[in-house]
Amino acid sequence: MATLTMNVYSPAPCVMALMVFAGSAHAGRPLATDDAATADPGSCQLESWVVRAGSNRALVLAPACGVAAGVELDAEYALLHPQDVLRDAAGLAVKWVPEGWRTLSPAGEVNFGLKLAAVAERRASAGWSGTQTGALALATLKPHDEWVVHANLGAARARQSGTTATLFNLAVAWTPQERALLFIETRTNNQRRLFAGTVNTAGGRWWLLQDRFGLDLTASREAGATGATLWTLGFGWYGLGP
């Protein structure tokens, strides 16, 4: 499970699209830290959520499909409100998790992967234009049946300014019972002026149909900032296909 989020977060309306993508990526939604896993070949998933931060809102759709063993294509589309600066945003990504990169460590099994992504936005006064590209190295550690740790390290480049930020994401997820998932995570970068600061998130998911259909809720805040909390409410529908 994956999305293309590049870890950008800001309360400014002109970058609301990047807020949306910053709050969405997952080790399977609801996490925003990506996992080193892909959908099975020929299998697809659909995730959708509503984002709210103060007066800014967005509706996001995020389909993904496994196209080969260890290879997944992901997409996201966000419809934004208000639309006085930006109307919508979209992204594409490809994730590669080779079977040969799986290894056993003293702490448990570790999977590794790579993801490449691009984000575009459509301004109210213009057409579509690319705004960001990025790459992430992915790692997932499972030290216990109830616990999983995900880490991402990579870079994102803002096209307009030409600035490149180093990204680091870390999430810990706990499954206290089959139908429940709880998590905490942090996402940070070295270009606070452009990409904002460290964002901390907590949330959870409840499976209505185990590993097939779940509902989730998350809350994110930028460390040290006085802006509004970014809330998301969504669902994930998995195992779609013939």
| 32 neighbors 198 (Cβ within 8 angstroms) | no
Q: Phi/psi of residue 190, each to 5°?
A: -105, 15
Per-residue pLDDT, averaged over 221-228, amounts to: 83
For residue 142, what pLDDT band results from cuts at 50, 70 and 90?
very high
CATH 2.40.160.40 fits domain 13-240: yes
Lowest mean pLDDT among 5-19, 118-132, 166-180: 5-19
**What's this model's pTM, rounded to 2 decimal places?**
0.89
CA distance 47 to 232: 12
Is the pLDDT assigned to residue 18 strictly greater than 70? no
Place of tokens 């999430």: 171
Q: Residue 225: its pLDDT value, please?
A: 78
Q: Give the pair of three-digit tokens for residue 172.
A: 């810990």
Q: Which DSSP category does 106 fall into? A: T
Place of tokens 């299998």: 43
For residue 216, what pLDDT band results from cuts at 50, 70 and 90?
very high
Per-residue pLDDT, averaged over 54-83, amounts to: 91
- 3-state SS assignment for residue 99: helix
83 against 143, higher pLDDT: 143
CA distance 163 to 165: 7
Domain positions in the chain are: 13-240
Is the pLDDT assigned to residue 86 strictly greater than 90? no
Is the pLDDT assigned to residue 55 strictly greater than 80? yes
Per-residue pLDDT, averaged over 174-182, amounts to: 97
Is the pLDDT assigned to residue 139 strictly greater than 80? yes
Q: Give the pair of three-digit tokens for residue 235.
A: 């669902």
